Structure 1
Amino acid sequence: MDHRTVLALYDRDMREGARPDGPGARIERVGAVVRQVADAEGWNGVLWSDLDEATADRAIAEQADFFAAHGREFEWKLYGHDLPSDLGDRLTAAGFTPEPEETLMVGEVARLSLDAGLPDGVRVVPATDRAGVELVVDVHEKAFGTDGSRLRHRLLTGLAEHPDSVVALVALAGDEPVSAARVELVPGARFAGLWGGGTVEGWRGRGVYRALVAHRARIAAAHGCRYLQVDALPTSRPILERLGFHALSTTTPYVSPQ
């Protein structure tokens, strides 16, 4: 994989050329900034910017004022290759709080190792109704220790309004949900996003996460996507590298001042 070329393609298609990630959200291009504006249950934030030392501080202040006027907490999604090189420091100085850094990983579907199987007694089912969504949320809350209210809203709204844009999956051991994940599909896009992959304690290290990556890759391939993108935690990166993903950059959410 030509890392520089693929990263530039990702920036152009999925950041500068972003499309709304859910019902009710909209993409706005304001000067050198691309942002998503959603309701209080959706994701609000800056996806892309083309800034330098002379324009960065003003752009940060303008976005903070805009979202504050709309009563929205938001994220500035900073990538390791964004400019200026001290943009993270400028965000911190403006009162933003950085969350843990993740690795932007991309895999070319045709070159991935997708033969990963599930442990005996485990099966994968799609979440196609409220009951399925509740299983996904249950895994999310247990695996990550965070509230799943926004995820529930996002999945239920997506099922009702755009059922083909997000495919959520849950792995069941008998009737027990042990892992869950989703793949987000944008019509006509070359990239599909893998999100929310988590496994409950006691089932980690048994190949369930790996199998869910492979399962989602096959779904993306069936929809004509060439690449898969993941914001990977340190625990996921080795698994993804073994499957054929490449680390292209880093990404850090900077959360707006309260």
Structure 2
Amino acid sequence: MPDLLADDRSIRQAEWKTRTHDRAPGLEEALRAAGFAPDEPESVMLGAASALIGTEPPAGVTVRQLTHPEDIRAALDMQDSVFGGTPRAERMLSAILEQRAREEPVEVWAAEVDGRIVSAGRIDLVPGTEFAGIWGGATLADYRGRGIYRALTSARVRSAMSRGVRWIHSDSTEDSRPILERAGLVKVTETVPWMWQRA
């Protein structure tokens, strides 16, 4: 891995996720030696998709799927402002557009107030299964606690269920974990994102 990162100058950032249930002696030391740094642990959530639907957006909030690259980039920029740390919008936009070009089932959704994106997230269907993952959910601080994230999640999951999805999984921060737990999803393990960035 270190040779690949060093030799391929097109790679600007990389992420490796460890799972607390895995036995991998020496892995964390190897990641540190390769220049990776651990981020905050996340909860791996799992449950029935049907548990997450039914929430409608509050008054004045519009939830819609984003299809134009400029809209997707705006949503990713908003997520960067929420998550902080190293900006990932450019890398994520390229990855999403490549997935769409390969006709992989990835959708980006956003909640808007007066045309401003205040919450956004993806849903990725796992081909050949009844599973989908919800990723990147973020809401601007001033708009939290209003049910916007729940409505955004509901819209994403409804779309996935229309394509045969029955089960949802998510690597959740401590902001979104309680929301998913209240809907009936269960924490099954933890994961730690290890991040690498070219100097």
How far apart are the structure 2 equivalents of 1:64 and 1:228?
A: 33
Asked if 2 retains the 8 angstrom alpha-carbon contact of 1:133 and 1:156, the reply is no
Asked if 1 retains the 8 angstrom alpha-carbon contact of 2:49 and 2:167, the reply is yes
Q: Which runs of 5+ in 2 are unaligned?
A: none
TM-score, normalised with respect to structure 2: 0.84
Asked if 1 retains the 8 angstrom alpha-carbon contact of 2:106 and 2:123, the reply is yes
Residue in 1 that maps onto 2:3: 65
How far does residue 89 in structure 1 lie from its aligned partner after superposition?
Answer: 4.7
How large is the RMSD of aligned CA atoms in angstroms?
Answer: 2.4
Matched length: 194
Asked if 2 retains the 8 angstrom alpha-carbon contact of 1:167 and 1:184, the reply is yes
Alpha-carbon spacing, 1:163–1:204, altered in 2? closer, same or farther (3 Å): farther
How far apart are the structure 2 equivalents of 1:180 and 1:227?
A: 20
Return the letter of the residue paired with 2:119: S
Residue in 2 that maps onto 1:235: 175
How far does residue 176 in structure 1 lie from its aligned partner after superposition?
Answer: 1.6
**Aligned equivalent of 2:90, options 149, 152, 155:** 149
- SS at the partner of 1:182? strand
Residue in 2 that maps onto 1:56: none
Choose 1 or 2 for highest CA Rg: 1
- SS at the partner of 2:168? strand
How far apart are the structure 1 equivalents of 2:177 and 2:120?
A: 17
User: For residues 79-104 of structure 1, what are the alpha-carbon distances to aligned partners after superposition, in whole Å with 9 as ceiling and x for unaligned?
Assistant: 11111366435544665321111111
Residue in 2 that maps onto 1:129: 68
Asked if 2 retains the 8 angstrom alpha-carbon contact of 1:64 and 1:256, the reply is no
Residue in 2 that maps onto 1:219: 159
Larger relative strand fraction: 2
The answer to which structure, 1 or 2, has the higher relative contact order (CA under 8 A, 6+ apart) is: 2
Return the letter of the residue paired with 1:155: I
How far apart are the structure 2 equivalents of 1:142 and 1:93?
A: 29
- SS at the partner of 2:91? helix
Residue in 2 that maps onto 1:45: none
